[in-house]
Copies of this chain bind each other. A is one copy, B any other.
Amino acid sequence: MRNTKATIKGGNAGRNRGHNRRVVLDYVRRNEPTGRAEIARSCGLSVQAVSNITDALAADGLLQVVGKTTGKRGKPVVQYRFNPDESYAVGIEMRPDAMVCAVLNLNGKLIVADRIAISNATPERAIPMACALIEKTINSAGRPPDKLLGVGVVMPGPFGESALSGIGDANLPGWQNTDIKHSFEKALGCTVVVENDATAAAISERVAGVATKIDDLCFIYFGTGLGLGVIAGGHSQSGAFGNFGEIGHIITQIDGNICTCGNSGCLETYASRMAAKTYLEMRGHTAIDTQAITRLMAENDPDLRAWIGQAATHLSLAIGMIENIFDPETVVLGGAMPDSIIEALIAQLTLPHGSVANRKDRSMPRIIKGASGRNTAAIGGASIIIHQTTTPALSLFN
Contact = CB atoms under 8 A, between A and B. Distances in A.
A248 B16 CA distance: 43
Interface in A1-37: 2, 4-13, 16, 19-20, 23-24, 26-27, 31
Contacts of A23: 6, 8-10
Contacts of A2: 31
A189 to B, nearest CB: 25
Nearest to A234: B7
A327 B356 CA distance: 23
A352 B250 CA distance: 9
A163 B243 contact: no
B353 A321 contact: no
A61 interface: no
Contact of A263 (B160, B328, B354, B396): B354
A42 B44 CA distance: 29
Contacts of A354: 163-164, 167, 249, 259, 261-263, 266
Contacts of A99: none
Interface string A246-268: 11111111100001011100100
Contacts of A240: 215-216, 327-329
Nearest to A265: B317
Contact of A42 (B6, B161, B352): B6
Contacts of A140: none
A397 interface: yes
A334 interface: no
A139 interface: no
B38 A250 contact: no
Nearest to A230: B325
A175 interface: no
9 contacts: A4-B38, A8-B392, A162-B357, A164-B356, A243-B327, A244-B326, A246-B327, A259-B354, A261-B354
Given A6-B42, A7-B26, A394-B394, 4 more contacts: A12-B45, A237-B326, A249-B320, A263-B354
